[in-house]
Structure 1
Amino acid sequence: MNTLNVVIFCASPVKTKALTGLLKAIGIINIHAPENDSEPTSFTPPFVELDVVICDSFNSLKELSYLRDLCEYFSFFSVIESEKLEKPMKWGASNLVAHYKKHHLGRYEDDISKVKIHSLLKKALTLKDIAKNNVFKSGIEQETLKQILHKDMDFKDPFQDVQADRVTAYFQPQYCALTKTITGIEVIAHWSHPAYDRLSTTHFKHDTPEHIVHWVLFSCALSNAIQLHRQTLNIDPTILYTYIIDASLLKSRHFASNVLEALKIFDIPLHTIALEISGKVDTPMSLEYIDNITTLMNCQVGLSLGNFGASDSPFDILADMPFTQIKLNTNFALTNSSIKKNQIISSIISMAKSLHLKVIANEIETEKQFAQLQHLGVDAAQGNFFHPPMTGEKLLTLLLDNTTTY
């Protein structure tokens, strides 16, 4: 934390001392608190770079003017506010921050909490890191991931064969039905063609084995998302990242061990990862299936059953595999809704909860649909009503907003 430069606006000398002591205890050295009774003839920047401004309280309009000078002089910094900030000053400060496009990280209670302040400052540190370094363009780490994920696999270099440089990861937030806050992120891999935009796996070269195509899509999604995931841990360490994998990947003998090695090397907590299984699961399951699933489950990686409720949903697979959540396809119920359709959805949710499975409703398009599924008891939901799939940069902006409710 000693890399952060902080300015404190506080009208009370006693509280200024308390805040300064709290910041020093966290490890912040460079702290500047403008003198309440000073009236400088010209603006003098307190640091070469400014990272955080804490607006606890203002003694006078002179300090608000000083905040404006900071906004004009420094192109980048983040702002933290006290919940008790006086209404006129709060209005002025908030509008200055918005006008100069500074980042508002959140608020703290008047009863200063070390945990809360530390959490907000970790956000500031993350934001600083993102501003200085493009977290999505680390060539060395991408190459390391590629080597880890592909060792011991059944093919040498599928990336060149299927033009993996055209695979892009998009991210769609999942919102808790009760708190309406982001609790999960689904990672979606798309392979795009320069002339035809996004294409499905069927547009890859016809002589490329299908399991290689699926592996490339997954490994590229992981490579694109792992940096973002690591940054997200500083914002909210409880957010679950779900990656879609085709069931055919579970046939690969080293699938689980290679994925786990990559996640561990990049310090991603395994309990913040879930793999959503799509496609046809072989029955009876092969030894490779059993080994991979057991390895993932033993390391607390979650398993999600995708597209449950569609016409080809495998109920036997739901019974045989240790899923932790299901993605509920609700199209049939949300289109021309009826009492019977609602009863079907309600029964599926009850069944899932009796099996201790989290239920995520997919493809929510309207507030009415979400309210309906809330009433029926889903745990979380995603869809264009909240946000369409977005780039990593847009997701970070959303997560760093002081309010993550939709």
Structure 2
Amino acid sequence: MNTLRILVLEDHAFQRTAAVSALNSLGYKNIFQAADGKDALAVISQAGGVDVALCDLSMAGMDGLTFLRLAREAGLIRAVIICSSLPEDLLRTVDRIVTLQGLELLGSVGKPLMVDVLAPLLARYRPHNQIDAKVAESQLDQPTEGEVLEAIRRQEFRAYFQPKFHLRSGEVDGAEVLVRWQSPSRGLLSPGMFLPTIERCGLLDEMFFSLLTQGLSLQRFVQSHGKPFKLAFNLDVTQMANPNLVDRIKALLRIHGASPAGLIFELTETGLLQMPEISMENMVRLRMLGFSLAIDDFGVGYSSLERLCQMPFNEIKLDAGFVQNFHQARYSAVIHGALALARELDMRVVAEGIETADQVQHLARLGCQWGQGFFYARPMNWAHLVDWRFEGQKSSWRRAIGTSDR
């Protein structure tokens, strides 16, 4: 018998009975029932809380939305399955509300509730002691400031490069520069394992200029063999407030004999609304020198269209979430709108997170020209990229999307 404690909140008696029957057939016996939100709060309060709530939304009295908010504030539920016949656009918004409340969303289902649909959703539930253990483990794994400073001194932060490519021809015009930590004791670490410490200790500039130095060395090598290769580097909005930022970048370019036209700096949309005056001054200085500026993860932040018009960006990085949900009409419409906006503003669009040939073909049909993602190439180190750049990557690309040279 499964020990999961489950609440069925449903105002229709027949639907409620059907849900309980489905749960019983799956081996769940610790089931609590309620016909409206007020009754549900009383039931689960007396029971000391439940693991999962199967929750209807539209009910007389206290509706499902109010119940979820109050139950979460009281710590009485941990995960939710939405059971509703509401239109898809409303359910998407409800899913977002549940996530923002900090609840684990197992999924949304229609009515009547079917056993074969319910079973895999309940299988997704993870007891909170497992989640807490993973959180604690990740916190313990975070390096100290001393470890990070030593890694910078020993040049253990390595530049990795993910190519940007033309969606129709497979032509590569450059790459985004990402960071990995090649730790002697921990192995190769992704940014999530060390960036929080980097940010907390104010070491973003040290890491950025290390990556810029590595990237410029690679760029000079590739371009010396007749291959143009633009590089894009991520900058945090807080770094743009550094009055010495532009001068330090210029000095490094002089050392490497590099041109500003070959570099793009990407800023995430989050933080643009509160950007101080000095940051905007630096953006203008970079553009005046010939650098390009891209707004990263476009569509997931809170910057207004007016703010986008005010900032001197000339490239939009379309967030991967839109690309991976392109089959949904609303997401496809947003992609189409972003492309139209970019054309009117004379900005290039690069779609992020491309993982399938269907995504490539759909984006190309909508008029998107450039993209990046695991479908074409994963981030790779200096040596791997050089081998890849000079070894028939176009033919492998054409095989992948089923096209041929003309």
Q: TM-score w.r.t. structure 2 length?
A: 0.56
Residue 318 (structure 1) aligned with residue 308 (structure 2): yes
Residue 393 (structure 1) aligned with residue 383 (structure 2): yes
Seen in structure 2, the aligned counterparts of structure 1 residues 245 and 175 have a Cα distance that, compared at 3 Å, is same
Residue 181 (structure 1) aligned with residue 171 (structure 2): yes
Aligned residues of 2:167 and 2:368 also touching (Cα < 8 A): yes
Seen in structure 2, the aligned counterparts of structure 1 residues 296 and 186 have a Cα distance that, compared at 3 Å, is same
Deviation at 1:355, TM superposition (A): 0.5
Aligned residues of 1:307 and 1:313 also touching (Cα < 8 A): no
1:161 to 141, 149, 164: 149
Aligned residues of 2:167 and 2:364 also touching (Cα < 8 A): yes
Aligned to 1:256: 246
Counterparts of 1:321-360 in structure 2, within 5 Å, are 321-335=311-325, 337-360=327-350
Matches of 1:195 and 1:346 in 2, distance apart?
A: 43
Matches of 2:196 and 2:335 in 1, distance apart?
A: 40
Aligned to 1:221: 211
Render the CA deviation track for 1:247-301: whole Å, top value 9, x for unaligned. Answer: 1110100101110121122111110100011264354543421331122111110
Aligned to 1:114: none
Matches of 1:282 and 1:349 in 2, distance apart?
A: 21
Residue identity opposite 1:326 in structure 2: I
Matches of 2:150 and 2:325 in 1, distance apart?
A: 37
Deviation at 1:191, TM superposition (A): 3.1
Seen in structure 2, the aligned counterparts of structure 1 residues 311 and 274 have a Cα distance that, compared at 3 Å, is closer
Deviation at 1:182, TM superposition (A): 0.5
Aligned to 2:160: 170
Matches of 1:386 and 1:313 in 2, distance apart?
A: 30
Aligned residues of 1:242 and 1:274 also touching (Cα < 8 A): yes
| Higher deviation after alignment, 304-313 or 358-367 | 304-313
Seen in structure 2, the aligned counterparts of structure 1 residues 335 and 209 have a Cα distance that, compared at 3 Å, is closer
Matches of 2:311 and 2:193 in 1, distance apart?
A: 28
Residue identity opposite 2:189 in structure 1: R
Aligned residues of 1:191 and 1:217 also touching (Cα < 8 A): no
Seen in structure 2, the aligned counterparts of structure 1 residues 341 and 291 have a Cα distance that, compared at 3 Å, is closer
Deviation at 1:174, TM superposition (A): 0.8
Q: Residue 212 of structure 1 aligns to a residue in which SS?
A: coil
Seen in structure 2, the aligned counterparts of structure 1 residues 368 and 220 have a Cα distance that, compared at 3 Å, is same
Matches of 1:313 and 1:162 in 2, distance apart?
A: 37
Matches of 2:269 and 2:162 in 1, distance apart?
A: 20
Counterparts of 1:8-157 in structure 2, within 5 Å, are none
Aligned residues of 1:158 and 1:216 also touching (Cα < 8 A): no
Matches of 2:269 and 2:335 in 1, distance apart?
A: 22
Q: Residue 243 of structure 1 aligns to a residue in which SS?
A: strand
1:382 to 358, 361, 372: 372
Seen in structure 2, the aligned counterparts of structure 1 residues 346 and 232 have a Cα distance that, compared at 3 Å, is same
- Return 5+ residue gaps in structure 2 as ranges: 1-144, 398-406
Aligned residues of 1:309 and 1:330 also touching (Cα < 8 A): no
1:198 to 189, 203, 210: 189
Render the CA deviation track for 1:189-218: whole Å, top value 9, x for unaligned. Answer: 123553374243674686x76473221221
Residue identity opposite 2:246 in structure 1: A
The higher-RCO structure (CA 8 Å, 6+ apart) is: 1
Deviation at 1:402, TM superposition (A): 5.0
Aligned to 2:263: 273
Residue identity opposite 1:329 in structure 2: D
Matches of 1:189 and 1:334 in 2, distance apart?
A: 24
Aligned to 2:64: none
Seen in structure 2, the aligned counterparts of structure 1 residues 166 and 332 have a Cα distance that, compared at 3 Å, is same
Matches of 2:290 and 2:322 in 1, distance apart?
A: 33
Deviation at 1:231, TM superposition (A): 1.0
Deviation at 1:167, TM superposition (A): 0.9
Seen in structure 2, the aligned counterparts of structure 1 residues 241 and 203 have a Cα distance that, compared at 3 Å, is closer
Seen in structure 2, the aligned counterparts of structure 1 residues 265 and 158 have a Cα distance that, compared at 3 Å, is farther
Aligned residues of 2:273 and 2:302 also touching (Cα < 8 A): no
Report the identity percentage: 20
Q: Residue 250 of structure 2 aligns to a residue in which SS?
A: helix
Seen in structure 2, the aligned counterparts of structure 1 residues 201 and 249 have a Cα distance that, compared at 3 Å, is farther
Matches of 2:250 and 2:147 in 1, distance apart?
A: 21
Render the CA deviation track for 1:166-201: whole Å, top value 9, x for unaligned. Answer: 311100111112322101211111235533742436
Residue identity opposite 1:348 in structure 2: A
Deviation at 1:325, TM superposition (A): 0.6
Matches of 2:393 and 2:196 in 1, distance apart?
A: 44
Render the CA deviation track for 1:65-107: whole Å, top value 9, x for unaligned. Answer: xxxxxxxxxxxxxxxxxxxxxxxxxxxxxxxxxxxxxxxxxxx
Matches of 2:386 and 2:312 in 1, distance apart?
A: 31
Q: CA RMSD in A?
A: 2.7
Matches of 1:352 and 1:325 in 2, distance apart?
A: 8
Seen in structure 2, the aligned counterparts of structure 1 residues 158 and 178 have a Cα distance that, compared at 3 Å, is farther
Residue identity opposite 1:361 in structure 2: A
Matches of 2:324 and 2:181 in 1, distance apart?
A: 29
Residue 361 (structure 1) aligned with residue 345 (structure 2): no
Q: TM-score w.r.t. structure 1 length?
A: 0.56
Aligned to 1:234: 224
